[in-house]
Amino acid sequence: MTRFIHDQFAKDYLEELLKDYGEVKASEKVSGEIKEIDVLFTPAKQQSSNIQILGLLGRFAEHPAIIEPYRNPASTDEICDCILKLLEIKALLRREAKANKTKLQDSEIPKLWVFTPTISETRLSSFGTIQKQGWLSGVHFLPDALRTAIVAIHQLPQTPETLWLRLLGRGSVQSQAIIELQALPLDHPYQKQTLELVYNLRENLRVNQELEADDRELIMRLEPLYQKNREQAREEGRQEGKKEGRQEGRQEGKQNLILRQLNRRIGEIDTSLIEQIQGLSLEQLENLGEALLDFSSFSDLETWLNQQSI
């Protein structure tokens, strides 16, 4: 259960960071045996220079990319499955180019980035990885024909350039990254949204009864930051008299986040259901954010919404 919570956090988080720079598709299905790509990213034709603010992650997003984040160390079979997804996407692009009588350009083929907290030297050696000049330690490239790199998050240097990747790490690595995130200027374009996602992760973990040690530590480390954040928000509201406006902004942000989660979880939501969700209070939205983890169909959502009106 907690693994799904972390997987969902990673997808929401990467979508939030990358959506301004191109098209982001989460849980994209590929042909053959049923498989899903965690994040398929296609950069905008006119790439924004602002992408540099994402550091190493922004560098990955300069080209079409398949991103596969793992909460636990990626196994050999899991890495091979990721490579298979890449090859199926490449084959699909070749078929489309042939049907359109065009030539598939190398720049149109995605590169695969496998994010794993740690990985052994033995496993890296089995894939024949190398360190490329001009890249940070922790980014291990497979032979060029495979267009793949394994990113060992806990091997990355602790610098601002790697912050957005270290937030997907575990234990002390993730906790340190959260502290750095909280210390960013309040006007940083991704500080507020990312903290909200982190706090949403905290809430989802808190209701789970079978937490790993890392998750319990994460909740404990987030508690003072969470309380401080909420106290600051209340104080700003008293000083500026804008508490209601901020509440509406937070509620709208929560609505958008939950709608994205529902679309990935059970499919495209119709207009009538969207209107019902938009009419929920902030407390109800937070409850829905927890409940949707167990949804498998539209009927689950409809049942939940009907219960709110009783």
* Tens-place pLDDT, residues 186-209: 889 898 888 888 888 877 777 766
Measuring CA to CA, how many Å separate 31 from each of 21, 99, 283? 26, 17, 40
Between 265 and 249, the higher pLDDT residue: 265
Q: In the prediction, which pLDDT does 246 show?
A: 54
Q: Quickly state the pLDDT bin for 94 (edges 50, 70, 90).
A: very high
Each as own residue / partner, the long-range contacts of residues 51-56 (CB below 8 Å, 24 or more positions apart, any chain) are 51/21, 53/189, 53/190, 54/17, 54/18, 54/164, 54/190, 55/159, 55/160, 55/161, 55/162, 55/163, 55/164, 55/165, 56/136, 56/139, 56/156, 56/161, 56/162, 56/164, 56/165
With contact defined as beta carbons under 8 Å apart, do 90 and 109 qualify? yes
Residue 164 is predicted with a pLDDT of: 96
Mean pLDDT (the chain, rounded)? 84
CA torsion, ordered 39, 250, 262, 75, to nearest 10 deg: 40
Could you report the per-residue pLDDT of 118-160, keeping only the tens digit for each? Answer: 999 999 999 999 999 999 999 999 999 999 999 999 999 999 9
CA terminus-to-terminus distance, the chain: 29
* Edge-to-edge order in the sheet of strand 148-152: 22-30, 35-43, 65-69, 111-116, 148-152, 139-141
